[in-house]
Amino acid sequence: MTDRSGEGTFTPLPLTTVRLGDLIFEVADSGPAGAPAILLLHGFPQSHHCWDGVVERLNAEGYRTIAPDQRGYSPGARPPSVADYRIPALVADAVGILDALGVDRAHVVGHDWGAIVAWHVAVRHPERTRSLTALSVPHPAAFSWARRHDADQQRRSAYIELFRREGELEDRLAGRPDALRGLFVPPLTEQQAAPHLELMADRASLTAALNWYRALSDEADELGPSTVPTSYLWSTEDQALGRAGALRCEQHVTGPYRFVELDGITHWIPEQDPATVAREILARAASVPQD
């Protein structure tokens, strides 16, 4: 049995491949094939493995889970240009993966950068989104507001400018595996961090992941409200995301909304508290009538 708290053993899920044009994505697709689907979008600098403990719980409740390694993280989906990592392309990937796997509508879940993509999918493609559960990052317009107006969030977001400078972080981390490891351990266990560290050890993978930051633009302020049933999970010990943006999130949701504050949990919510994450996803999914 998988136990992402660090106890027990972990058996990797088999991966399927999805081709979208010239890009090939690796996707962990598990659970009953005909069951309601939950799309799980990881953040930086992780992979689909961040959802391992959550997936086990969702599958046990009869849901199908679809957890891709997103653009830049799948070796076969790593275009070279920064412009290839803009939000519209990331959103098109998520919707395209659903298309390729025969899923008309899904409960969409995202953490960190995956949450940003999930917000955009829910707002721009509500017809494909049964519900939204966002972890860590609030509605992009709320986050953008906090970065402009809240001194605490400005301090927390100072790292973004470093990440946006092409090649600089890669040079800093070259030959220093412990530098990136310190981002995860603690609070994550060595077992939880291992797949992410293995992926980011390759300079091409790290550059592709950082290209998400380098392709940032101002589309956040233009994103409308989420009209689908929405849950937002924010953790009090998140070093990157402050309270101001978290509390402002509800101003950008017109559908049913639930805000969940996780006390004592850091940024790495899916690995640190998979039971709560799964419970909230399931509660949100259960609140939506199934076709």
What is the Cα–Cα distance from 186 to 163, expressed in whole angstroms?
22
Two structure tokens written together for 37: 């689907």
Does the annotation mark 22 as catalytic? no
Task: Point out the catalytic residue in the list 112, 139, 232, 273.
Answer: 112
* DSSP bridge pairs for 257: 230
| Residue 74 region by backbone torsions, left for phi larger than 0, else alpha for psi between -120 and 50, else beta | beta
CB 224 within 8 A of CB 123: yes
Task: Point out the catalytic residue in the list 69, 238, 267, 273.
Answer: 267
Q: Which residue has the tokens 């605490």?
A: 152
For residue 92, the surrounding DSSP H or E stretch is: helix 87-100
Cα–Cα distances in Å, from 168 out to 24, 26, 40, 204, 238?
28, 28, 30, 13, 25
Does the annotation mark 267 as catalytic? yes
Q: Which residue has the tokens 């025969």?
A: 102
Task: Point out the catalytic residue in the list 120, 213, 238, 273.
Answer: 213
Does the annotation mark 232 as catalytic? no
Using alpha carbons, select from 220, 206, 210 the residue that is nearest to residue 87.
220
Residues annotated as catalytic are: 112, 213, 267
